[in-house]
Amino acid sequence: MNSLDQSYSMTLFFLSYFISAMASYTALDLGARLHYAKGRGRVFLLCAGAVSMGLGIWAMYFVAMLALHLPIAVEYDHLIVFFSIVLAVLSSALTLWIVSEQSMSKTRVVKGSVVIGTGIAGMHYTGMAAMMMNAVILYDWLWFTVSIFVAILFSMVALILTFQLRSVDPVEGLWRKIFAGLLMGASITGMHYTGMYATTFVAHEHMTIAVIPYDDSGLIATMIGIVSVLILVVTLASVYVDKQFAGKTLRVLESDQRYKSLFEHNYDGVIFYSIDGTQSVMNPAAMRLTKEQSLPLEKLKTMCISTDAELISTHFTNAVQGDARNCDITLTTREGCQLHLNMTHTPVFVDQQITGVFMIVRDITNKKEYEAKINYLAFHDSLTGLPNRRFVEQQLDQVIMEAQKTDQQVYVLFLDLDHFKLVNDSLGHDFGDLLLQEASLRLRECVGKKGTVYRLGGDEFMVILTDVTEREVSSMANEINETIEQAFFIHGHELYITTSIGISRYPEDGQDRSVLMRNADAAMYAAKDKGKNSFHLYVPNLEQAVNDKMNIQNELNRALARQEFLLHYQPQVSAKSGAIVGVEALIRWDHPERGLLLPDQFISVAEETGLIVPIGEWVLRTACKQNKQWQDQGLKPLRVAVNLSARQFLKQDFTQMIAEILHQTRLAPEYLELEITESSMIDVHRATQALKELKQLGVHVAIDDFGTGYSSLYYLKEFPLNRLKIDRSFVRDMIEQPSNQAIVSTIISMAHHLQMHVIAEGVETKEELAFLQEHLCEEVQGYLFSRPLPSEDVAFYLQAQKGVS
């Protein structure tokens, strides 16, 4: 066998390696970006990488063949050469496509390495098959196999590096790309020279070995030059694309950093869920909010009530289908803390495909609590905490609707605190507020679970009762009256007030809210007219009474200015001798249209409106002036008794006003007696102080209508009083009713033990007088002796008594 000698040019050897390394770097760089490229950009990178790598392999081969010196002429079959180029490009394209996939498994690495390795080997041995010369090629099969494994092994390492290049920093990745290119170039050249080591050229038997000057070196050099230019062009294009891609990559990185910043530092909680809801990623705010490190969708739903859990499931499903939704839910943490959250479900799109759901969670607990507080304040009274008028109007409408369906009765109770305005005026609004708070507590205790108490405003309250009988309503009204009239102890003051209650019924007294409330209000004023501290059921004629009361209120404002008031005087006589000892001044209203009106027709309205103060002052001044005139006429000096309202009595300057009137009318204090009722003792402390001042002034003080008010014996002992006045309700029918006799005798005995005189009013029969005389009652007044008289008639009465005496 005539083997041909082989020799290599080291310059061309290194050139072949350089070309293969440059082509490999370009191809692998483009391949690393294939994973992120889309559309046309992906096709371009795939084609450019395949051409660069395929032509690089081919160019390296023929540069290496130029480095080989044989003693014979060598030509190449152009068709086989072309086929070798196609084989190199296709194997490169397939390899780049493999490494561009989403994940790189061991199987994929092996497959890719085998493809590119066998492609390189196939191109090499196809190129060897294209050689035309007077010699045959023999292969050492061991080294032939080694050459293929060298190509596969080096390709595997290069592919792994290429896959890892996708996720590294661009600066660090540059050196790794260069290293991968050098490694891939080594696999190509290593395979070639290993394959050449396995190759033996054997000349034909009759051939003379000589150097043939003609071969295809020029053509090969030209083709290598063209390939090198192509690789250079692809490399430059790669650089350009890389620049563009780097810009996009930078923008992607910036976008990714902005996303991370938004996710990590967001004030709101953000949770990313996979489509099935089993996987979740939480930002720090979400972890702090929920006190959880991981929160799958099912676990989240267990932290909510069933309705909210269903809402979350529905909105999550809608988000998975591409529809963003927002809702408010309540969540309870493992520590038992209840949170109100606003939750937005937003689909996550990647490559126009929904890959998950963002759940943006905002803590609105404070907002909900603030809204609840605002809503509470809007429908509740800030002072007492009771539902207010706005609430009761809505509630009563609803109660009426339910009563229509169930055919039940509804009771509406209107309550007004008697003399409350007096407390406000005399003690101040702070005391009034405390009194309202205490009264509201008592009302709640009385009503309990049978109904609801509302505050309409001022001292007006309302109660709605359902599913009760009229007897139960009356019993509750009585209980309220009895409870409210008990003493209120506020900041050292003992206060006494009462309440008047009006009651209307559905459907008898009205079938809508406004009518029921209006009729209950009318019934309440009827209770006040009965003497307060009572209740009254609505009857149809009450509306006219309310209208009359409003007319009287309007006319009272003009009565003083028009001097329409006058005084009548009822004599008070000694029960023992029958001599007149005093008179009681009683106001009358000479109404221009209605005629002479008695006090019970207008005094209650005057008290409610506050006009009782100027009217009462007029009465005091007129009575004192008249008494002084009688004395100046030479008539017997006697005391004049004037009734006081609670509003007058508790005025801060009341004692000073009395002193001024006495000074102006020149009436001695001992000839003035002030009659106050027990109900005027709203503030016992203030009342005691005022009575002591009047005592020092020398004015007489009597308790009027004794036994009908609070009757606190302890404070009665402390009060500096001159007389007790027995109410006419006890004197009337006293002879027929033993109980009244017992009350009257007890009052007389008690007064005497307290060193006070007693005067009984309403005496109309001799039998009544005899009983009073028997029990040592000092003074009496009533129709048995005289009706109230005008001042002129009193003068004649006194003159007549003077003549008798």
Q: What is the pLDDT of residue 253?
A: 57
pLDDT above 90 (res 412) = yes
Q: What is the pLDDT of residue 208?
A: 47
Q: Which residues contact 691 (CB under 8 A, 6 or more apart)?
A: 701, 719, 720, 721
- Give the right CATH number for 380-540 from 3.40.50.1820, 3.20.20.70, 3.30.70.270, 2.60.40.10: 3.30.70.270
Q: What is the pLDDT of residue 197?
A: 78
Q: What is the pLDDT of residue 101?
A: 65
The residue-averaged pLDDT of 425-434 equals 84
Can you tell me the distance from the alpha carbon of 90 to that of 387, in angstroms, rounded to the nearest whole number?
85
Q: What is the pLDDT of residue 192?
A: 72
The residue-averaged pLDDT of 786-803 equals 86
| pLDDT-wise least confident of 40-54, 206-220, 421-435, 528-542 | 206-220
Q: Which residues contact 505 (CB under 8 A, 6 or more apart)?
A: 409, 410, 411, 412, 470, 537, 538
pLDDT above 60 (res 364) = yes
Identify the CATH homologous superfamily for domain 266-369: PAS domain (3.30.450.20)
pLDDT above 50 (res 547) = yes
| pLDDT-wise least confident of 361-375, 455-469, 658-672 | 361-375
Q: What is the pLDDT of residue 233?
A: 66
Contacts of 611-616 with CB under 8 Å at 24 or more apart are 611/556, 611/557, 611/560, 612/645, 612/647, 612/648, 613/645, 613/647, 613/648, 613/651, 614/560, 615/556, 615/560, 615/565, 615/587, 616/644, 616/645, 616/647, 616/648
How many H-runs (helices) and E-runs (strands) does the chain carry?
A: 27, 28
Q: What is the pLDDT of residue 714?
A: 59
Encode 453-474 in three state secondary structure.
EEEEECCEEEEEEECCCHHHHH
Q: How confident is residue 805, by pLDDT bands cut at 50, 70 and 90?
A: very low
Q: How confident is residue 123, by pLDDT bands cut at 50, 70 and 90?
A: confident
Q: How confident is residue 103, by pLDDT bands cut at 50, 70 and 90?
A: low
Q: Find the largest Cα–Cα distance for the chain.
A: 194
pLDDT above 60 (res 242) = no
| pLDDT-wise least confident of 35-39, 306-310, 437-441, 532-536 | 35-39
Q: What is the pLDDT of residue 32?
A: 61
Q: What's the burial of 657, exposed, middle or buried (CB within 10 Å: 0-12/13-18/19+)?
A: middle
The residue-averaged pLDDT of 304-314 equals 90
Q: What is the pLDDT of residue 548?
A: 73
Q: What is the pLDDT of residue 377?
A: 83
Q: Which residues contact 443 (CB under 8 A, 6 or more apart)?
A: 415, 453, 461, 463, 480, 483, 484
- Give the right CATH number for 554-804 from 3.30.360.10, 3.30.70.360, 3.30.470.20, 3.20.20.450: 3.20.20.450
Q: What is the pLDDT of residue 446?
A: 93
Ordered by start, the domain boundaries in the chain are 2-247, 266-369, 380-540, 554-804
pLDDT above 80 (res 508) = yes
pLDDT > 70: percent of the chain: 82
The residue-averaged pLDDT of 505-531 equals 88
162 or 218: which carries more pLDDT confidence? 162
Secondary structure of residue 253 in the 3-state scheme: helix
207 or 760: which carries more pLDDT confidence? 760
| pLDDT-wise least confident of 74-83, 164-173, 662-671, 722-731 | 164-173
- Model confidence over 64-91: pLDDT tens digits? 776 666 777 777 777 887 887 788 788 7
Q: Which residues contact 718 (CB under 8 A, 6 or more apart)?
A: 688
Q: How confident is residue 378, by pLDDT bands cut at 50, 70 and 90?
A: confident
- Model confidence over 561-578: pLDDT tens digits? 888 999 999 999 999 988
- Model confidence over 244-285: pLDDT tens digits? 555 565 565 566 667 677 777 787 888 989 888 888 889 888
Contact 706, 759 (CB under 8 A): no
Q: What is the pLDDT of residue 619?
A: 96
Q: Enter the pTM of the model.
A: 0.58
- Model confidence over 8-65: pLDDT tens digits? 667 766 777 777 777 777 666 666 666 556 666 667 767 776 777 777 777 766 677 7
User: How many residues are recorded in the chain?
Assistant: 805
Can you tell me the distance from the alpha carbon of 42 to that of 297, in angstroms, rounded to the nearest whole number?
37
pLDDT above 50 (res 453) = yes
Q: What is the pLDDT of residue 413?
A: 95
Q: What is the pLDDT of residue 473?
A: 93
| pLDDT-wise least confident of 173-187, 450-464, 573-587 | 173-187
Question: What phi and psi, each to the nearest 5 degrees, are found at residue 442?
Answer: -65, -40
Secondary structure of residue 344 in the 3-state scheme: strand
pLDDT above 60 (res 207) = no
Across the chain, what does the average pLDDT equal? 82
Contact 726, 744 (CB under 8 A): yes
pLDDT above 60 (res 471) = yes
Q: How many CB atoms lie within 10 A of CB 603?
A: 20
Q: What is the pLDDT of residue 47?
A: 76
30 or 122: which carries more pLDDT confidence? 122
| pLDDT-wise least confident of 124-138, 151-165, 396-410, 585-599 | 151-165
468-472, 722-726, 777-781: which has the highest mean pLDDT?
777-781
350 or 501: which carries more pLDDT confidence? 501
| pLDDT-wise least confident of 3-17, 203-217, 545-559 | 203-217
Q: How confident is residue 499, by pLDDT bands cut at 50, 70 and 90?
A: very high
pLDDT above 90 (res 623) = yes
